[in-house]
Chains A and B, each alone.
Chain A
Amino acid sequence: MTVPIQCRPDEVFVLNLGPQHPATHGVLRVKLTMDGEYIVKAEPVLGYIHRMHEKMAEAGSFAQFMPNTARMDYLHALAYNHGYVLAVERAAGIEVPERAEYIRVITVELNRLSSHLLWWAAFLLDLGGFTPLLYAFDDRERILDLLERITGSRLTYCYFRFGGVYNDIDDEFIAGTRDFIKRLRSRLPRMYHDLVTHNIILIKRLKDIGFITPEQCRKYGATGPVARGSGINYDVRKNEPYSVYPEFDFDVPVYTECDSMARYMVRMDEIEQSLRIIEQALDKLPDGPVKAKKVPKILKPAAGDYYAAVEAARGAFGCRLVCDGGKSAYRLKLRSPTFSNLSLFGEVAEGMLLADALAFMGSLDLVIPEIDR
């Protein structure tokens, strides 16, 4: 929605949104040039939580970097674990046992659910609804309980290992996960969709707001739900399959409306698809070891560079690992999806109302430490 800007240059003013602002989900700062309530120019300013992950990868061994991956995108930590171990396993030529692959998929998808639930809660909080947060956190805490049982932590998991996972799952986890799937399935239509998705206030706030064309997505390299809300059918799990994702039957939700509501719907549908994947993975779960044998404690992959990509909750996360034959990475480039997704904010937000821009920003699902790394 573009409104013709009719202002004299001396009538605009600069508004700093953030770095401490409840709607920016962390410490993002957006330098806005405003004409009254309309945005003339929006320039995100990053770096307030730049935590030197890429430098730390060069300082320690490969295993020592594992905890850092969880602290990049703390909402979908296991996907970042996964991306990193895939890159290192590719470099060192480590095979992963099948049971470990299944456990990885189950835990990553559970984590994706908790990430989407938290996004849902925080997004509606941005729009002015507090109650959804209480519903979403009720469900989210149950996921955290399940994951805590096997990984040992609530948020910043460091569960994957090169060649497998740290810990096997037990019957109680499986039973608990099945119970949770049943519970969330029963709550999704009544509590999430009836109460919020079909709510006229939400629809009015999101419909036709934040229009991103597929071409803009491509030019800026947007991936994940942002691209899928603009009609681009791209999901790393389908297009460039890794782990055991080809074994499962699931759909990639794509909406062609290109607005904030489309992105909202993509994520809501992804919750259902993730439940399907977990269910199938639990049914097919093979027996066997959860860790590859004979993985050396200190890895020294051959020189060269390697790339691995996974589908995180916010888009395609990529790891470019440059090795020189030493015991730590020579260079580790972490391609974070939100970095690219946010880079189109400036172009799309031009001419928007400030209140709409915040709804649009929420629909991008930003995690600032992952942008800044």
Chain B
Amino acid sequence: MSIVEETRKALLQLFPEQAAAEAEAEAAADAEAAAGAEADTDATAEDTASTEEAGEAAGGEETAAEPAAPAKEEEPAEEGPRENGVLVTDHAARGTHLDVLCDPEQVVEAAGIMDEAGFFLEAITGVDWIKEDRMEVIYDYNQTGPDPCRVVVRTFIPRANPEIPTISEIHPGANWHERETHDFFGIKFQGHPYLEPLLLPEDADFHPLLKDFTP
């Protein structure tokens, strides 16, 4: 099993619904393939290709889990709201292998899963979607194994009250990234040990990367 697939399996812990749907589809595929063999919902993915095809058909939101497969659904803005879950993206087109959308409360759990899987945090960034009145927080994870696997975890928070739990206890490197994001967007990381301006002057009370910021 490739690292992308392994990580995907690990991240599915966050999304019991998607995991259940996949397991069901997997079981259905197994049943179909074996033609009358006993359908077992706990069966491990031995025939990955057929499993994932079935998963795609059943899940709707899912694309094939093979890293080389092109990502079909990507734009939450264009194709209606994307549901929470793990998405396999085309590295050549996107630069990432896995794309996770989760609830703000789940980022800590996601960080724990990534930490256990041996990933390190590359960056945290915010995006101010002013038209939709919300902000996006993006966590970039990467690992140093021989095969590339980049994971991006994203979540949306309301623009009026941008708060999200900190992950700096799991990844100490996140400490500065969160301070920087707080500088630029005013996103409050709950539980952060020292949320003071990092790049802006100590007394700065503005958040320059907000779209409605004027100097």
Q: Are A and B associated in one complex?
A: yes
Q: Given contacts A318-B123, A320-B125, is CB(A50)–CB(B75) below 8 Å?
A: no
Tell me, in angstroms, the Cα distance from A152 to B204 when the chains sit together.
39
B197 beta carbon closer than 8 Å to chain A: yes
A220 beta carbon closer than 8 Å to chain B: yes
Instruction: Choose from B142, B144, B146, B198 the contact partner of A47 (Cβ within 8 Å).
Output: B198
- The answer on a CB contact under 8 Å between A46 and B125 is no
B108 beta carbon closer than 8 Å to chain A: no
| In the complex, chain A residues 300-323 whose Cβ is within 8 Å of any chain B Cβ | 303-309, 316, 318, 320, 322
- The answer on a CB contact under 8 Å between B94 and A307 is yes
Tell me, in angstroms, the Cα distance from A278 to B186 when the chains sit together.
45
> What is the minimal beta-carbon distance from B157 to any residue of chain A, in angstroms?
15
> What is the minimal beta-carbon distance from A57 to any residue of chain B, in angstroms?
10
- Which chain B residues border A339 with CB–CB below 8 Å? 176
- The answer on a CB contact under 8 Å between B95 and A343 is no
> What is the minimal beta-carbon distance from B21 to any residue of chain A, in angstroms?
25
Instruction: Choose from A233, A306, A322, A340 the contact partner of B127 (Cβ within 8 Å).
Output: A322
Name the residue on A nearest B180 (C-beta): A339
B78 beta carbon closer than 8 Å to chain A: yes
Name the residue on B nearest A371 (C-beta): B199
- Which chain B residues border A309 with CB–CB below 8 Å? 95, 142, 150
A121 beta carbon closer than 8 Å to chain B: no
> What is the minimal beta-carbon distance from B166 to any residue of chain A, in angstroms?
15
Which of B77, B125, B171 gathers the greatest number of chain A CB atoms within 10 Å?
Answer: B125
B74 beta carbon closer than 8 Å to chain A: yes
- The answer on a CB contact under 8 Å between A90 and B93 is yes
> What is the minimal beta-carbon distance from A14 to any residue of chain B, in angstroms?
15
- The answer on a CB contact under 8 Å between B144 and A227 is yes
> What is the minimal beta-carbon distance from B63 to any residue of chain A, in angstroms?
14
- The answer on a CB contact under 8 Å between B176 and A320 is no
- Which chain A residues border B191 with CB–CB below 8 Å? none
Name the residue on A nearest B78 (C-beta): A303
- The answer on a CB contact under 8 Å between B199 and A47 is yes
Tell me, in angstroms, the Cα distance from A52 to B207 when the chains sit together.
12
- Which chain A residues border B95 with CB–CB below 8 Å? 87, 90, 306-309
| In the complex, chain A residues 40-54 whose Cβ is within 8 Å of any chain B Cβ | 46-47, 50, 52, 54
A372 beta carbon closer than 8 Å to chain B: yes
- Which chain B residues border A234 with CB–CB below 8 Å? 144
Name the residue on B nearest A234 (C-beta): B144
| In the complex, chain B residues 127-175 whose Cβ is within 8 Å of any chain A Cβ | 127-128, 138, 140, 142, 144-148, 150, 152, 171-173, 175
Tell me, in angstroms, the Cα distance from A333 to B138 when the chains sit together.
10
- Which chain A residues border B208 with CB–CB below 8 Å? 52, 55
Instruction: Choose from A219, A240, A303, A372 the contact partner of B120 (Cβ within 8 Å).
Output: A219
- Which chain B residues border A46 with CB–CB below 8 Å? 176, 198-199
B58 beta carbon closer than 8 Å to chain A: no
B200 beta carbon closer than 8 Å to chain A: yes
- Which chain A residues border B74 with CB–CB below 8 Å? 304
Name the residue on A nearest B128 (C-beta): A331
Q: Given contacts A55-B208, A232-B144, A318-B140, is CB(A331)–CB(B173) below 8 Å?
A: no
Q: Given contacts A306-B94, A307-B152, is CB(A55)–CB(B75) below 8 Å?
A: no
- The answer on a CB contact under 8 Å between B146 and A239 is yes
Tell me, in angstroms, the Cα distance from A170 to B133 when the chains sit together.
53
- The answer on a CB contact under 8 Å between B144 and A233 is yes
- Which chain B residues border A227 with CB–CB below 8 Å? 144
Instruction: Choose from A58, A221, A322 the contact partner of B122 (Cβ within 8 Å).
Output: A221
- The answer on a CB contact under 8 Å between B146 and A303 is no
- Which chain B residues border A316 with CB–CB below 8 Å? 122, 142
- Which chain B residues border A330 with CB–CB below 8 Å? 127
Tell me, in angstroms, the Cα distance from A227 to B171 when the chains sit together.
16
B18 beta carbon closer than 8 Å to chain A: no
- The answer on a CB contact under 8 Å between A343 and B173 is yes
A138 beta carbon closer than 8 Å to chain B: no
- The answer on a CB contact under 8 Å between A221 and B144 is no
- Which chain A residues border B144 with CB–CB below 8 Å? 218, 227, 232-234, 239
Q: Given contacts A47-B200, A55-B208, A239-B146, is CB(A220)–CB(B173) below 8 Å?
A: yes
- The answer on a CB contact under 8 Å between B120 and A343 is no
- Which chain B residues border A217 with CB–CB below 8 Å? 120
Name the residue on B nearest A373 (C-beta): B199
Tell me, in angstroms, the Cα distance from A339 to B125 when the chains sit together.
14
- Which chain B residues border A54 with CB–CB below 8 Å? 184, 209
- The answer on a CB contact under 8 Å between B122 and A304 is no
B201 beta carbon closer than 8 Å to chain A: yes
- Which chain A residues border B77 with CB–CB below 8 Å? 303, 324
A335 beta carbon closer than 8 Å to chain B: yes
Q: Given contacts A55-B209, A239-B144, is CB(A220)–CB(B172) below 8 Å?
A: yes
- Which chain A residues border B184 with CB–CB below 8 Å? 54
- Which chain B residues border A304 with CB–CB below 8 Å? 74-75, 94
> What is the minimal beta-carbon distance from B13 to any residue of chain A, in angstroms?
21
Task: Please name 19 pairs of A and B residues whose Cβ atoms are closer than 8 Å in the assembled complex, sorted by A.
Answer: A47-B200, A90-B95, A219-B171, A220-B173, A221-B121, A227-B144, A239-B144, A239-B146, A240-B148, A303-B78, A307-B96, A316-B142, A320-B123, A320-B138, A324-B77, A333-B138, A340-B173, A343-B173, A372-B199
- 3 A-B pairs with least C-beta separation: A307-B95, A234-B144, A220-B173
- Extra inter-chain contacts (8) besides given A218-B144, A221-B121, A239-B145, CB under 8 Å: A47-B201, A90-B93, A219-B173, A221-B122, A221-B171, A227-B144, A320-B123, A331-B126
